[in-house]
Chain A
Amino acid sequence: MCSLIDIVDLSTAEIDELIEKACDIIGNPSAYSQKCAGKRLATLFFEPSTRTRLSFEAAMYDLGGTVIGFSDSASSSASKGESVADTARMVSCYADIIVMRHPKEGAPLVASMKAGVPVINAGDGGHNHPTQTLTDLLTISREKGRLSGMTVGLCGDLKFGRTVHSLIVALARYEGIKIVLISPEELRLPEYMIQNVLGKSGMDYVETKDMDSVIGSLDVLYMTRVQRERFFNEADYIRLKDSYILTPDKLAHAGDSLCIMHPLPRVNEISVAVDDDPRACYFKQAMYGKFIRMALILKMLEIES
């Protein structure tokens, strides 16, 4: 029995296998519609989520399984002071697999140590969110036809954005990836990421504050939200916030095959006017999230094709 807590728990071969499986499910969903018949997934969401919870639930239903769970801690025994370990141990009496989101970093790891069933981390605070990374990798693979030999731009909050950090860690395994880091000075990628991941992997990278100057060179543009609360003063936020909003004007400099991604929710960092552009892939990305989670559930439950 294994759990998925961090994207580094998966080997590159396993990630490639999951992507391959997800593609097979996309191509032939009916072949998988009863694969999890008789199996039950528990979604333990100690904080609210829209995409992650619904995509896991949709994934399990589309595999023929059933779902139990709660969508916020107020409706669980956590509100009575029950520990994560006890909750996990108790729920594993009722379910074959647990998906957990928790505001505390490391909570899903604690659950995996005590539960008798596989645990999938669906986000632990600002720490890990491995299924978002798998979703991102599937999206790039589907939209670009490969995971190597491309230039990936990451734009916005590169300092605190966990999805950006995990994606860089995952992409570092593939050949010929060039990373373009686009952010204001205040939200640059942390030094430990530059040294320990980009530096150690030998991945080619550049840092810039100017999206316009690099957008034409990108195969993938991964947008994130620049949040007001990350700035020390309001003036800096007001000065910088519009520099990182993707608009049709900015896209005029981009290539025809650019793949625009965003982990969602989007606030204003991508103009609604971009949504109908064929290069906008962020809603497809949300759709791919369900398929990669279907592949993951099958793997965790050791259900063969």
Chain B
Amino acid sequence: MIIDAIKNGVVIDHIRAGMCMEIYRILDLERLACSVAILKNVSSRKMGKKDIIKVDEMFDIDLEVLGYIDPNITVSIIKNGEIAEKRKLELPDKVTNVIKCKNPRCITSTEQELPHVFRLTDRENRIYRCIYCESKPG
């Protein structure tokens, strides 16, 4: 299957197979008017299978959210048909309004417009906890 190379835009690569639609949704790529290619189950030597998203336009990409989903994802900025920059992802120290706290005893369940904030409490095991009630996402 051939997808045209993009001239100016963003390539989100090394997405775990099956995760691309989740990333599409979280990054709200629906709002873009340009071409967006979603490649699922692409063969990968390193990963076996992977997903790729190519966006044919520059846009503000939320690296924190991507880092939270999977820090092994790679983001390349394409300018004039060439990779101009590779952005490294890291597990963010905190994520806001990416995941919802599901603890019914948490203040987020009743307080109006309170942002749902999760903080990284254990980098080694990638554990985030709600800043209000300390529950893990679930």
Contact = CB atoms under 8 A, between A and B. Distances in A.
A301 interface: no
Contact of B105 (A83, A105, A110): A105
Interface stretch (B13-21, B44-52, B70-78, B125-133): B125-133
B80 interface: no
A106 B108 contact: yes
Interface of chain B: mostly helix, strand, loop or mixed: loop
Interface in A37-95: 83-85
A104 B114 contact: no
Contact of B133 (A83, A84, A106): A106
A103 B111 CA distance: 12
B39 to A, nearest CB: 40
A110 B109 CA distance: 13
Nearest to B136: A192
B107 interface: yes
Contact of B130 (A102, A106, A125, A126): A106
Given A83-B112, A127-B134, A102 B105 contact: no
Interface in B60-105: 103, 105
A109 interface: yes
A83 B132 contact: no
B105 A109 contact: no
B106 interface: yes
A183 B15 CA distance: 47
Contacts of A125: 105, 133
Most buried by A among B103, B107, B131, B134: B107
A207 B98 CA distance: 40
Interface of B: 103, 105-112, 114, 130-134
Q: Which 7 A-B pairs have the closest CB atoms?
A: A106-B132, A105-B133, A106-B107, A104-B107, A107-B107, A106-B133, A105-B105
Interface of A: 83-85, 102-107, 109-110, 124-127
30 contacts: A84-B111, A85-B111, A103-B105, A104-B105, A104-B107, A104-B109, A104-B110, A104-B111, A105-B103, A105-B107, A105-B132, A105-B133, A106-B106, A106-B107, A106-B108, A106-B130, A106-B132, A107-B107, A107-B111, A107-B132, A109-B107, A110-B107, A110-B111, A110-B114, A110-B132, A125-B105, A125-B133, A127-B105, A127-B133, A127-B134
